[in-house]
Amino acid sequence: MALKDVGNKVPIYKLKTTDEVMKYYDEWGDKDKYNKDMLEWNYTGPKETVEVFKKHTENKEILIFDAGCGTGLVGLQLKKFGFKHFHGADLSQKLLDSVPNNLYQKLIKVDLNKPIDVQDNFYEATMCVGTFTFGHVKPQALDEFVRITKRGGLICFTINEGIYKEYGFDKKIENLKQDNKWVELEFFKSDYIASKDVNAWLGLYRVK
């Protein structure tokens, strides 16, 4: 199952620690290799996620937190659909350095497995695409997303199908429902990286 992640070309499933992930992405981001691979693999996660997201908000002036923004692929899609205000955060400085100029109003280097240095109820929406995968960010990050997103705000994310139950995302999502922290708007299996036979769960929730 893990081998489906992106084949043997990018052995993400072997990454275990935050330092390993950061080193890997710093190398992957060199000379635009990351963006070239995403294009070659027909990585549809950012486009598909933003298309779902935009169905649930008509306000293009909201402030959005793009958690694990990488090289800005989600930001480019948000801009394409008319959204104007977003902040990006990622573990890899190399990827952050590859983000197009003036795409985000703010970029910060963060480890999403730790508390996010953002005040409560700050953003109108939080997005996290491609970051919940092997060796990356764990389910407790969803608690932080709920904390930093305003009541009535949206949280939209993808979870690689290979870790959905293994890492406990299924239980965390259900617990947040039971604790009345959020309400489910959409949850389905997306294509994600169809060319590599990699699927992800795509979820969209409204903070209560």
- CA 160 to each of CA 1, 56, 142: distance values in angstroms, whole numbers, following the listed order: 11, 23, 15
Q: What's the confidence (pLDDT) of residue 9? A: 44
Cβ neighbours, 10 Å, residue 48: 18
Q: What's the confidence (pLDDT) of residue 148? A: 98
Q: What's the confidence (pLDDT) of residue 7? A: 41
CATH of the domain at 133: 3.40.50.150
Q: What's the confidence (pLDDT) of residue 1? A: 34
Say which residues have a Cβ less than 8 Å from residue 39's Cβ, sequence separation at least 6: none
Q: Which domain holds residue 96?
A: 2-207
Give the count of domains, the chain: 1
Per-position pLDDT tens, the chain of length 208:
333 444 444 455 555 666 666 565 565 556 565 555 555 544 677 889 999 999 999 999 999 999 999 999 999 999 999 999 999 999 989 889 999 999 999 999 999 999 999 999 999 999 999 888 877 789 999 999 999 999 999 999 999 888 899 999 999 999 999 999 999 999 998 865 555 556 889 999 999 9
